[in-house]
Amino acid sequence: MDLRQLFLQHIAPTTESPLALEVVRAEGVYLYGPEGQAYMDFISGIGVSNIGHSHPAVVAAVQAQAASYMHLMVYGEYVQQPQVAYAQALTASLDPSLDCVYWGNSGAEAIEGAFKLAKRVTGRTEIISFQGSYHGSTHGALSAMGDETYKRAYRPLLPDHRILPWADATHLSAITERTAAVVVEVVQAESGYKVVPAAFLQALQARCRETGALLIVDEIQTGFGRTGHLFAHQGAGIVPDILCLGKALGGGMPLGAFIASHGRMQHLAKNPMLGHLTTFGGHPVSCAAGLAAFTVLQNSGWIQDVAQKEAYLRAALGPLSTTGDLSGRGLLLALPLESFDRVLSAQKDLISAGLLTDWFLFEQKALRLAPPLSISMQELEQAVTFIQNAVHA
């Protein structure tokens, strides 16, 4: 039995028709198959590989840390240099109020921890989110999801969750003194990269401050330079009470985090102590990899190039769109097409040509485009040619 058959037999499925693309090596913006075929990764592993695959600095950091120590103890008990060093570097790049990191393993875990923290800090129970939002697939995150398609099969979900219309300030009065937290994406990751207007985010922040509700900003996909800012909320002119990170956070290794003030985080240490736990959260190898990737990103100048690359993609691919433009911001872009079948057809043709794209959970008439920030203009031009040929086919 070959590897693909073993994959289909023993790996639990997420769909009935997985891509089942065999990869033996990845480097830069490319994945490589067993016979040497190259695929340009134009979705960055869904927002993970912001600096490309297998960057030498990240590989070296992983090797060095694995040789020193790997898992030692459940999170929060032992002083581990990779956790401390990365937390210090992250918080130095954020508002001074965001100075304390709780490490986890994924973005969904970050969301779950943020919800628990908000309930403890406020003594309230209501969580509010928005139509079209995606925050993960665990039960708490699923309860906050703004699309019923992926929720109905798993009900009943957690009580006291409310979904408000997307980016509609007239509904902000629904946030009251019984609301523990409001969770929002600056760019909705699974709704075709819908950009939330900065004015709405600022009004939302003001309403949260007025009522005492905590503002949770989900930057699991938008963080680490994707939108042309280190973090997207910085470009929108808001400051989260709790910031959730994942995906690119680990530089290709599994890692998640929620970040808040030191004072607020103390609520998880008492009444009861050990009120939030993770065994592998902040794994030292993941933190070493993440810090190495973060350092590369900050020193590379790639974030400063995002606007130029976005403008090129809009100019080149906008005419192919059913709306005449791409949705999204930075290198989180979506190409609207006429149907889901057309999206799937284009995706299939692009894989054959050597370009990896994808679709969205809630906006199925759009092709997902999110290349590594490290992609060169020459590589972008090649990708554009592939996309033009596939859409015209």
> 135 and 277 share a domain?
yes
pLDDT at site 17: 86
The answer on pLDDT for 191 being more than 80 is yes
Q: How many distinct structural domains can be found in the chain?
A: 2
Gyration radius (Cα) of the chain, Å: 21
| Domain edge (last residue) among 280, 299, 318 | 299
- How many Å separate Cα 108 from the centre of its chain? 10
> 78 and 111 share a domain?
yes
For residues 135 and 229, what is the distance between their CA atoms, to the nearest angstrom?
A: 21
Please give the sequence-ordered ranges of beta strands (E in DSSP) within the chain, or none if there are none: 25-27, 30-32, 38-41, 100-104, 126-130, 161-164, 179-185, 187-188, 194-195, 214-218, 242-245, 256-260, 327-329, 332-336, 355-356, 366-369
The answer on pLDDT for 380 being more than 80 is yes
What single DSSP character describes residue 82?
H
| Domain edge (last residue) among 250, 272, 299 | 299
Crossing angle for the helix pair 377-392 and 340-353, to the nearest 10 degrees: 130
Query: Edge to edge, what strands does the sheet with 30-32 contain?
Result: 25-27, 30-32, 38-41, 355-356
> 232 and 275 share a domain?
yes
CATH of the domain at 287: 3.40.640.10
The answer on pLDDT for 349 being more than 80 is yes
The CB-side HSE value for 306 (13 A sphere, CA atoms) comes to: 27
- The whole domain housing 386 covers 3-54+301-392
> 251 and 128 share a domain?
yes
Chain segment 40-94, per-residue pLDDT in tens: 999 999 999 999 999 999 999 999 999 999 999 999 999 999 999 999 999 999 9
Cross-strand pairs, 27: 30
> 179 and 323 share a domain?
no
> 307 and 169 share a domain?
no
> 174 and 276 share a domain?
yes
| Domain edge (last residue) among 271, 299, 327 | 299
> 241 and 330 share a domain?
no
**Would you put residue 162 in left (φ > 0), alpha (ψ -120 to 50) or beta?**
beta
CB 29 within 8 A of CB 375: yes
> 138 and 277 share a domain?
yes
The answer on pLDDT for 235 being more than 80 is yes
pTM: 0.97
Nearest to 26 by CA among 224, 236, 194, 251: 251
Chain segment 290-336, per-residue pLDDT in tens: 999 999 999 999 999 999 999 999 999 999 999 999 999 999 999 99
> How far apart, in Å, are the Cα atoms of 132 and each of 14, 141, 150?
21, 13, 11
Q: How much of the chain, in percent, has pLDDT values that exceed 90?
A: 96
For residues 98 and 239, what is the distance between their CA atoms, to the nearest angstrom?
A: 9
Chain segment 89-129, per-residue pLDDT in tens: 999 999 999 999 999 999 999 999 999 999 999 999 999 99
The answer on pLDDT for 1 being more than 80 is no
Chain segment 241-263, per-residue pLDDT in tens: 999 999 999 999 999 999 999 99
How confident is residue 169, by pLDDT bands cut at 50, 70 and 90? very high
Terminal Cα-to-Cα distance of the chain (whole angstroms): 36
pLDDT at site 330: 98
> 105 and 195 share a domain?
yes
CATH of the domain at 319: 3.90.1150.10
> 269 and 318 share a domain?
no
For residues 182 and 208, what is the distance between their CA atoms, to the nearest angstrom?
A: 8
pLDDT at site 392: 84
Q: How many CB atoms lie within 10 A of CB 364?
A: 14
> 238 and 139 share a domain?
yes
How confident is residue 356, by pLDDT bands cut at 50, 70 and 90? very high
Q: Is 33 helix (H, G, I), strand (E, B) or coil?
A: coil
Cross-strand pairs, 129: 163
pLDDT at site 22: 93
